[in-house]
Amino acid sequence: MKQVQLNNGRTMPQLGYGVFQIDDLAQCEQGVLDALRTGYRLIDTAACYGNERAVGKAIIKSGVSRQDIFISSKVWIQDTGYAQTMASFNKTLANLQTDYLDLYLVHMPYGDYFGSWRAMQELYKAGKIRAIGVCNFLPDRLVDLIQSFDIIPAVNQIELHPFSQRKALRKLMAKYRIMPMAWAPFAEGKNNLFTQPVLKAIGDQYGKTPAQVTLRWLRQSDVVAIPKSTHLARIQQNFAVDDFNLSTEDLNRIDALDTGNPLILDVATCQEAYRLHKIKFVQ
């Protein structure tokens, strides 16, 4: 599996397995086991997913050495703030049955995420976290965080797929060598991604599916991706993207699918709602 280098010198796999919305804990555990047996070494979870314990059980059961697995988790909105983040982090470690995280992220740019970042910097300097980052941070919040602290986020996990390519945001992130990490790389099936004519036509050239073409496009765009599936055949299929290369023409055709807007989560709208009404976001 190809590794990418983060801005702090650490490396991480460029393709991982995500467990968002796998609420059945037995199914989550099996999915992580299947992913690890397939060859995935990046597992992405979060406190608010409610499945960290299942992830931890699967990692132990897999027999794969902890040092060979890159585990990413996140602190949720209700736990932003220095003390709350420290407590949430310790709970995450207990759930995952590990004594460190490879990557810890602020899940949303709401609440006292400055307090969270102070806690995360301390944990990073103490060796409890190998890299720290954020999720869903748009340019204004990202620059504010960068200018306010001495550690620049290593990762920004964002909605990123052929229909929402976040080109301006990624240009800013490249300036600070912040790695883009694509959640919902298949756009949750929106815009009929799995049968989309351009992606299908490109895939037909290589004997690949639109999903595999999408993951290969992200690979060649230097983006980390964390596709989710609970079906072994699809987990294996998503992993099989190292045996072909997209041409410049292919890449340009996929780039042209960009709508310029998010399809799943409009962070700016949610941000304003949170500011005005202090909405309590829950899983």
Is residue 155 within 8 A of residue 251, CB to CB? The reply is no
Residues 158 and 135 sit within 8 Å (Cβ to Cβ): yes
Among the listed residues 17, 49, 110, 113, the single catalytic one is: 49
Active site residue 40: no
The b/e string for 20-44 (b: 16+ C-beta within 10 A; e otherwise) is bebeeeeebbbbbbbbbeeebbbbb
CA dihedral 223, 229, 234, 240 (to 10 degrees): 20
Q: Which residues are catalytic?
A: 49
